[in-house]
Amino acid sequence: MWVDRGQGLRQVAIPVGTIDDVRRLAQRLAAGAGRRLDDGSPYADARLPDGTRLHAVLPPVATDGPYLSLRTFRQRPFTLDDLVRQGTVPRPAAPVLAAVVAARLAYLVVGGTGSGKTTLLNTLLGLVPGTERIVLVEDAAELRPVHPHVVGLQARTANVEGSGAVGLSDLVRQALRMRPDRLVVGECRGGEVVDLLAALNTGHDGGAGTLHANAPSDVPARLEALGMLGGLPRAALHAQVAAALQVLLQVRRGARGRVLESVCLLLPEGPDRLVTVVPAWVRGHGPGPAAAALGTLLRERDVPAPPVLCEVWPSRPEREGRPEATGGRRHGGPE
Residue 173, class by beta-carbon neighbours within 10 Å (0-12 exposed, 13-18 middle, 19+ buried)?
middle
Q: How far apart are CA 144 and CA 125, in angstroms?
A: 9
Per-residue pLDDT at 320 exceeds 60: no
Give the per-residue pLDDT at 325: 42
Residue 5, pLDDT above cutoff 80: no
Band (317; pLDDT cuts 50, 70, 90): low
Place 191 in a pLDDT band, splitting at 50, 70 and 90. Answer: confident
Q: Give yes or no for residue 7 having a pLDDT over 70.
A: no
Q: What are phi and psi of 299, to 5 degrees?
A: -65, -35
- Considering only residues 114 and 300, tell me which one the structure prediction assigns the higher pLDDT: 300
Average pLDDT, the chain: 87
Predicted structure pTM score? 0.83
For the ranges 29-38, 129-138, 235-244, the lowest mean pLDDT is seen at 29-38
Section 42-71 average pLDDT: 89
**314 has a pLDDT exceeding 70:** no
Spatial separation of the C-alpha atoms in residues 128 and 141, rounded to whole Å: 19
Alpha-carbon distance 224 to 7, whole Å? 34
State mean pLDDT over 221-226.
92
How far, in Å, CA of 117 to CA of 135, rounded? 18
Rounded Cα distance between 130 and 149, Å, is 7
Lowest mean pLDDT among 20-24, 43-47, 180-184: 43-47
Longest dimension (CA), the chain: 83
**What pLDDT, on a 0 to 100 scale, did the predictor assign at position 195?**
83
Beta strand 43-47 with 53-57: parallel, antiparallel or unpaired? antiparallel
Q: Is the pLDDT of residue 333 over 60?
A: no
- What are the Cα distances from residue 2, in Å, to 13, 25, 255? 9, 17, 17
CB neighbour class for 103 (10 Å; exposed up to 12, middle 13-18, buried from 19): buried
Mean pLDDT of 67-84: 89
Q: Which domains does the chain have, with CATH numbers?
A: 2-71 (3.30.450.370), 80-318 (3.40.50.300)
- Strands ordered across the beta sheet of 43-47: 43-47, 53-57, 67-71
Q: What is the pLDDT of residue 335?
A: 32
In 10 A of CB 155, how many CB atoms? 18
* Residue-level pLDDT at 104: 97
Taking the C-alpha atoms of residue 8 and residue 153, their distance in angstroms, rounded to an integer, is 31
Residue ranges in 90-191 assigned as alpha helix (H): 94-102, 117-125, 168-175
The pLDDT > 70 percentage for the chain reads 91
DSSP conformation letters of 225-286: HHHHHTT--HHHHHHHHHHH--EEEEEEEETTEEEEEEEEEEEEETTTTEEEEEEEEETTTE
Would you state the pLDDT for residue 26?
93
Report in angstroms the alpha-carbon separations of 237 from 97, 233, 268, 301. Answer: 26, 6, 12, 25
pLDDT of amino acid 187: 86
pLDDT digits (tens, 9 = 90+) for 78-107: 999 999 999 999 999 999 999 999 999 999
Pairing of strands 9-11, 208-212: unpaired
> Residue 327 pLDDT more than 90?
no
> Is it the case that residue 257 has pLDDT exceeding 90?
no
